[in-house]
């Protein structure tokens, strides 16, 4: 899921920033170029937190910038298929819900919410299970499983992540709490039946 990593890269410091404090400039350049980007080997860059080491600068003929080999620390999210992850519902539509997983949104299709038929309540922006009346609305925390991943390094906004909530232990925080209470009641009933024999 989330990882703190030590990475290395070559950073170009533009000529107009050469007089500034080098560590700050390099941190700014790394943040501008990497935060929000995707590298399929590393993951999705959330934050560049600090510069650890700066090597000797190199000047390339014809370019007024200076290039530095830099070691830095980054926070990344690395999603894998079948990973269980918690997110927040940010939008509901007639075809499903969009769930924020931090730096990227994923799609929870209506067919992956429940075994029940789902109705869309446009006025209240909720998806409602027809039989149980359970619902999902904007702002609700959910526990989901990633079932499809298509990450686009060039255009991170075009990445597609498909989610499901149809398995045991998945759903909104409210649903999970209701399920736990039902399980406890069943356990009490079983305990009471054993004691009366």
| 27 has pLDDT over 80 | yes
pLDDT band with cut points at 50, 70 and 90 for residue 192: low
Residues 3/75, Cβ–Cβ less than 8 Å: yes
The CA distances from residue 135 to 87, 114, 125, in Å, are 16, 10, 10
Give the mean pLDDT of 74-78.
Answer: 92
Q: What angle do CA 42, 47, 49 make, to 5 degrees?
A: 110
Instruction: Say if strands 171-172 and 38-39 run parallel, antiparallel, or are unpaired.
Output: unpaired
Instruction: Say if strands 171-172 and 105-109 run parallel, antiparallel, or are unpaired.
Output: unpaired
Give the mean pLDDT of 166-189.
Answer: 86
The CA distances from residue 44 to 99, 100, 153, 157, 159, in Å, are 16, 14, 9, 12, 11
Q: What does the domain layout of the chain look like in residue ranges? A: 2-77, 84-187
Give the mean pLDDT of 52-74.
Answer: 94
Residues 6+ apart with CB under 8 A from 26: 11, 13, 51, 54, 68, 70, 72
pLDDT for 1 equals 76
CATH of 2-77, one of 3.40.50.1100, 3.30.1490.120, 3.40.50.720, 3.10.180.10: 3.30.1490.120
Is the domain defined by 84-187 classed in CATH 1.10.10.10?
A: no
> Cα(6)–Cα(72) distance, rounded to whole angstroms?
6
Domains 2-77 and 84-187 share a fold: no
Sign for the pseudo-dihedral over CA of 116, 120, 124, 127: positive
pLDDT tens profile 88-126: 999 999 999 999 987 788 999 999 998 889 999 999 999
> Cα(57)–Cα(73) distance, rounded to whole angstroms?
20
pLDDT tens profile 122-147: 999 999 888 888 899 999 999 999 99
Give the mean pLDDT of 153-165.
Answer: 85
């Amino acid at each position: 899921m989330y990882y703190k990593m030590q990475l290395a890269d070559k950073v170009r410091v533009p000529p107009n920033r050469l007089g500034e404090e080098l560590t700050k400039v390099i941190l700014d350049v790394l943040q501008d170029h990497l935060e929000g980007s995707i590298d399929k080997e590393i993951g999705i860059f959330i934050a560049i937190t600090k510069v650890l080491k700066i090597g000797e600068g190199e000047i390339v003929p014809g370019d007024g910038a200076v290039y530095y080999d830099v070691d830095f620390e980054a926070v990344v999210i690395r999603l894998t298929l079948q990973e269980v992850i918690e997110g927040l519902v940010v939008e509901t539509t007639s075809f499903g819900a969009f769930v924020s997983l931090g730096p990227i949104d994923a799609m929870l299709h209506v067919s992956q919410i429940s075994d029940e038929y789902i109705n869309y309540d446009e006025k209240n922006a909720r998806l409602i299970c027809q039989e149980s009346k359970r619902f999902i609305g904007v702002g609700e925390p959910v526990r989901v499983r990633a079932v499809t991943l298509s990450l686009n390094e060039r255009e991170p906004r075009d990445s597609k992540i498909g989610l499901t909530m149809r398995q045991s232990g998945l759903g909104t925080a409210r649903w999970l709490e209701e399920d736990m209470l039902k399980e406890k009641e069943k356990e009490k009933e079983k305990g009471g039946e054993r004691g009366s024999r």
